[in-house]
A and B are shown apart, each in its own frame.
Chain A
């Protein structure tokens, strides 16, 4: 297990390095010469002395400052790392609550479908999950916003949830102030991501329940609930952990769209504002943060899977 963990960690470091390199290449090869200068302005020092730095030198500088946690400074936003870190909690709150909702929805619906396989309810839910699975996060967000905020407003009622932002003006004084702003965005992510998890859970549950030992457990007179959760869900959930690693980029990307739809001032919205304001440092800083988040998430999923299923460590070694 330890050597497995170390190996995964090494892979994660290489991946993070790759993400950084891709980001650098994106900027370096972009058309327009002011962009390659922008890379260097982040060092804070005077740059326009001497000749233009070459690719290797610029890359070295950039990686160096990255390792110090320096994402540069921009005119609009000041210290980019600080600017983004201040917004990170909002994105994290959205992602984590979205993921939790997705797992709850997904596993719940999947188990329900597997328990009622073949019934009308199962078919309706199958159709529902296909539709939710097919819908882009921004459209689901718009629909939810329309239904709970804008339609009531059109009818002259109070909207059910606050219009935009992450907290009441003047800042949140308690968690209760914060939550109403989180409900619809997190629900959006939960629906989009949960649909995929539900489809997976249903299939995995049905397969697990068809195993011989489960059937013999049924024959021994174990209660249906016990069979469902003890035998079905346990077997089905293990691979779900590794699937979460696959869903992570979806979650992060979804966050960008959801923040845009609901004007949540997280990192995703910061990136979109940066694009409008030609604020390259913030754009690249945001892309890097999402990239690193994906790498870390993958690492966590891998480690969790290795911890939950000791065979994995052996299989990798063997």
Chain B
């Protein structure tokens, strides 16, 4: 339990200038960073690109909308931090699972990393790149090291690596998220259904799961990507398709255990329909493993997308994997692939940290391997 003094370290004064800083000082890293990041980004934007923002704000352009979103987020963060600092913590208030996850320091760092990259990939391209999006900014020279003009240098084709990095973030994170969530959706539905229903449904689904788990899926995906022209959605779909078995297996195990719990019997005795029991009672009680599995599925999907692009088999458009491939041997032109490679690892680490914290909070003994 946090004392009032600890909660208010830095106090209102600090919060006015650096919303989130008092929370970080009080050990609530995630909440603090979630407030501090939009605030600092908004200030940076106003300082560095004041001309752009003032000319576009209020216009219906992408730049205008993105600036509005960032400023609104900064305002919200500011208001939240002030309110949070000036209200004393409720004495003895029970800490729900979510609060415990957000306040776990490692999970907090993970969440902050995820927010950073989400913001970067959504708001970065319109705000930080030249006005004409989609245009590859060619430069006079290839393999320029990082500088003020080119924060991540330039590559062999004389393109700005930072621009490719931001485009790649959109592709890699977008497809990873889509494929991870898609795979989770299939896996959770099938696993819960099989585990809860039992009988032949269970046997058929689990046979399929065993089959898919034993396949070297990525090798087959490589063959698939080489033979077929995949768009972003089909690519995400196929990546999702290799994700679901692992999730189905862990969710099924949880559903089997829950189906034998007394409260499920009680609900049946009240005439509550099987579907309602499954969706309203079994799934919410399995949310711990579902969350962990989903986070790991997204992490896996990111790695698969990047891997395929690294082999030159992903989408034609930019991806972090493609950037790493173009970076080649890392030396002497470390900036071409280095930023993308490090960011990829960072995002996956963040997802793993969050997953670990969720696992600890919901069930300290459960061991999930995806």
Contact = CB atoms under 8 A, between A and B. Distances in A.
Instruction: Please tell me whether chains A and B touch each other in their complex, using a CB distance cut-off of 8 A.
Output: yes
Interface of A: 11, 15, 18-19, 22-23, 26-27, 30-31, 35, 130-131, 133-136, 138-139, 142-143, 145-146, 149-151, 153-154, 196, 200, 203, 207, 243, 245-246, 248-249, 252-253, 256-257, 260, 271-272, 275, 280, 283-284, 286-287, 290-291, 293-295, 298
A142 B222 contact: no
A293 B222 CA distance: 16
B324 interface: yes
B367 A203 contact: yes
B306 A136 contact: yes
Contacts of A23: 220, 223
A272 B313 CA distance: 10
A236 B244 CA distance: 28
Contacts of A22: 215, 220
B330 A146 contact: yes
A130 B349 contact: yes
Contacts, number: 134
Interface in B187-231: 210-211, 213-220, 222-224, 226-229
Given A294-B215, A294-B216, A134 B299 contact: yes
Interface of B: 210-211, 213-220, 222-224, 226-229, 299, 303, 306-307, 310-313, 324, 327, 329-332, 334, 337, 341, 344-345, 348-349, 351-353, 356, 365, 367, 369
B332 to A, nearest CB: 5
Contact of A253 (B219, B226, B348, B367): B219
A145 B219 CA distance: 23
Contacts of B353: 130
Contacts of A130: 349, 352-353, 356
| Chain B binding surface, main DSSP class | helix
Given A138-B307, A139-B324, A203-B367, A291 B227 contact: no
Given A135-B345, A145-B329, A257-B310, A249 B226 contact: no
B211 A138 contact: no
B110 to A, nearest CB: 10
B331 A153 contact: yes
Contacts of A243: 369
